[in-house]
A and B are shown apart, each in its own frame.
Chain A
Amino acid sequence: MNISPYISVFNGETVKLENVPVLDFEEFRETLLSLNGKNGRLSSLFGMPVEYNMTRIFAIIAKDRLGNLCILSTEVGDSYKSLTPDCPQAHWFEREIAEQWGIVPEGHPWLKPIRFHKPYSEDRDAWKRKEDEEILPCVTDYYKVDGEEIHEVAVGPVHAGIIEPGHFRFQCHGETVFNLEISLGYQHRGIERKLVGAPDGKTIHYMETAAGDTSIGHATAYCEALESLAKCNVPLRAQAIRGILLELERLANHAGDLGALAGDVAYLPTSSFCGRIRGDYLNITALICGNRFGRNVIRPGGVMFDIDNEMKAEILKRLDAAFKDTENAVDLLWDNPSVQGRFEECGKLSRELCTKIGTVGPAARACGVEQDVRFDLPSGIFRFAQISVSTYHTGDVFSRAFVRMMEIRNSVKFIREQLANLPEGKIMEPCGKASADSLTVTLAEGWRGEICHTAITDSKGHFEHYKIVDPSFHNWFALANVLKNEQIYNFPLCNKSFNLSYCGHDL
């Protein structure tokens, strides 16, 4: 009899933990590499402590074309043979596992901490640091270029604008960047550790603030995980409202970022218009739930607020006005040669590298990669109402901006359709207790890209482990890569074209 070395599930399907195969490491490694090679992407890779001082490593591989997820696992002790040399998508995950559980991935090309905290395992440290040794953020080795006229530029943690903290280390020759290394961890608030033993009253609030500009994305992924574990059937009307809110979140952020991109090339008309238009979209969200960021609306079992006919009309009216203004403001960008001169050919990411390092979201679609959870692995309302995937092929700042504008059009179309056909019925179905000893993986397409949540329950139905992967976790490395041989003054522009989350990464 041939037993499959992995289990295949749909987005949001619950399986019994005992049905997830535990392979010996070599088989795990080979299976992972072969799945990864055949149009599979590493969505998540994490460790969970088990008995005998061992750690169980789970890998979640998304098969976009087939529309399913492959789950496999293995158990490791102090070290294992690193996956990164053969699967670069694993490199950041392996650093995370090393930092959290003190396990050394032998042969990892650049094994450094990613968040700078003490290991969660009591007696293991991947870098053999002593227990009382202070761990200072971003105090670590950096890739260094030596030579005549080479200089190093260090930026952050505190940046010039009203943005989150992170550290950027550039190796430059004149204005040309030879290498950029990004080091984060300043925003580490310890969310994942507090999720062990959950769900409790605070859990949903952790989700809504994991990345505060993606409250709806993360809350949706979490609720879908819990609902699947509790076998709760969410009313269709609630699913539609969640979809509308998710697209409003995308609209606000995409519009705001297009304005900020204009600001970074000193093109003030679009910058000022879009700054305001972003608020118009946020205010539509606030109309539905009272909060501009969609807090306190998505809850396990459904949504807290309904949309009546009067509100529907008001949303449509405001949406039409905001969209008209968006098109008007953004069209200026495409028509202006000096803007295009800065956008085109700037911060190029090749399709090949994009797939190799596992970039997700609009950044991947801007390299011509057709990949969108709403289309490939849909959940909720997206199973019934699909959104077309917006791609463009040039991989530069222009492409990332252009893809976002296409997504704005599609999101507006989607919201209009949903409002016109809002299903009748309830908006909330009581969500019971999560089933015991189970595992579920949920994906949602947040505005930055794929959000992946994995929940594993213990014998009482509490979370034994909960893993959050924000799209930024995949994409920070892509940003670092596009700066190679780029001019240093283009950094803000490239950075904004990705606009990644610091706290979503640091958790």
Chain B
Amino acid sequence: MLNEIRARIKQGYRTAPFPSKEMKLPERYLGVPIIEKKKCGESDCRNCVKSCPLSCISKTDKGITIDLGICIFCGDCARACPSGGITFSRHYAMSVNNRADLKLSGKTLKLAKALEDKSKAIFGHSLKLREVSAGGCNACEADTNVLNTLAWDLGRFGIQFVASPRHADGLFITGAVPQNMLLALKKTYDAIPEPKLVIVAGACAISGGIFKDHPEVNNGADNILPVDLYIPGCPPHPATILDGLLRLLGRIEL
């Protein structure tokens, strides 16, 4: 017992003051991209479009659009752009309510809004989620799991990942949803009592990501279930995930 107490004193208090203090992510972290129309030079330059391994950038007369629902934040486009038209910020807040809001063509995203009053009254102070990994590579899973550690201490927000779908208020999905997981995912969704939320985390769960259009997968969960929150990234940083969850509950605004 004394050993444990000594260790506890040595290890100290390590919970991050989230969200009260802005998190400082590493300098090389790639957050929300910034598209600057003025800097995007010649109209026939398509370097960014060509550089994207997932073809998630398009360019029209109106400018460049990046689909953050597919983007894996590899940074190839920013490196390919000769005039600094695309750069990556260190902003980790990027969760949205609608799939269309992930199509970024300017400097800012339309971030997720809180649930309407009735849902917020039900879920606002206690949100139990059932996680289903359906084709996730264990990166999204690991950085979701990390929210349960004392570094993030998810429980203090009243959010908890639970074992049984019957005890859950919503489904938290990672992965591109392989054909082999489709039935299990649907059954888990059906087992959650109404009213229920669906949250998709990571490029795979939103659109299939890297695995988009493989015959073995369903291009994520968006076509299968009604989604309330989209958390982009590959994988999303834990701060991105937690920020998204808290926005949905109205605990972070702006």
Which A residues contact B (CB, under 8 angstroms)? Answer: 115-117, 136-137, 157-158, 160-165, 185-190, 194, 200-202, 205-206, 209-213, 215, 256, 269, 272-273, 275-276, 278-279, 283, 286-293, 295-296, 305, 325, 328-329, 331-332, 335-336, 501-503, 506
- Inter-chain contact B184/A157, CB cutoff 8 Å: yes
- Number of interface residues, chain B, beta carbon within 8 A: 61
Cα distance, A162 to B143, chains bound together (Å): 10
| Residue among B142, B163, B217 making CB contact with A189, cutoff 8 Å | B217
- Inter-chain contact B74/A187, CB cutoff 8 Å: no
Once A190-B211, A209-B137, A215-B139 are accepted as A-B contacts, the answer to whether A292 and B237 lie under 8 Å apart by CB is: yes
Chain A CB within 8 A of B216 CB: yes
- Inter-chain contact A328/B4, CB cutoff 8 Å: no
- Inter-chain contact B29/A286, CB cutoff 8 Å: yes
Cα distance, A276 to B153, chains bound together (Å): 10
B7-48 Cβ-contact flags toward A at 8 Å (1 or 0): 110110010000000000111111000000000000000000
Q: How far is the CB of A53 from the nearest CB of chain B, in Å?
A: 23
Report the stretch among B94-102, B111-119, B144-152, B244-252 that lies at the interface: B144-152
Closest A residue to B5 by CB, please name it: A269
- Inter-chain contact A293/B139, CB cutoff 8 Å: yes
- Inter-chain contact A329/B7, CB cutoff 8 Å: yes
| Residue among A164, A205, A275 making CB contact with B149, cutoff 8 Å | A275
Closest B residue to A156 by CB, please name it: B184
- Inter-chain contact A276/B149, CB cutoff 8 Å: yes
Q: How far is the CB of B17 from the nearest CB of chain A, in Å?
A: 15
Closest B residue to A164 by CB, please name it: B133
- Inter-chain contact A209/B149, CB cutoff 8 Å: no
Q: How far is the CB of A491 from the nearest CB of chain B, in Å?
A: 15
| Residue among A209, A269, A501 making CB contact with B8, cutoff 8 Å | A269
Q: How far is the CB of B190 from the nearest CB of chain A, in Å?
A: 12
Report the stretch among B57-65, B120-128, B175-183 that lies at the interface: B175-183
Chain A CB within 8 A of B136 CB: yes
Closest A residue to B188 by CB, please name it: A158
Chain A residues with CB below 8 A from B7, complex form: 269, 273, 328-329, 331-332
Closest A residue to B187 by CB, please name it: A158
Which B residues contact A (CB, under 8 angstroms)? Answer: 3-4, 7-8, 10-11, 14, 25-30, 52-54, 72-75, 131-146, 148-151, 161, 163-164, 175-176, 178, 180-181, 183-184, 188, 210-211, 214-217, 234-235, 237-238
Chain A residues with CB below 8 A from B188, complex form: 158
- Can you offer 5 A-B residue contacts whose CB atoms are under 8 A? A158-B188, A164-B141, A187-B180, A189-B217, A212-B235
Closest B residue to A287 by CB, please name it: B26
- Inter-chain contact A275/B146, CB cutoff 8 Å: yes
Interface centre among B25, B131, B181 (most CB of A within 10 A): B181
Q: How far is the CB of A186 from the nearest CB of chain B, in Å?
A: 5
Once A292-B143, A328-B7 are accepted as A-B contacts, the answer to whether A186 and B211 lie under 8 Å apart by CB is: no
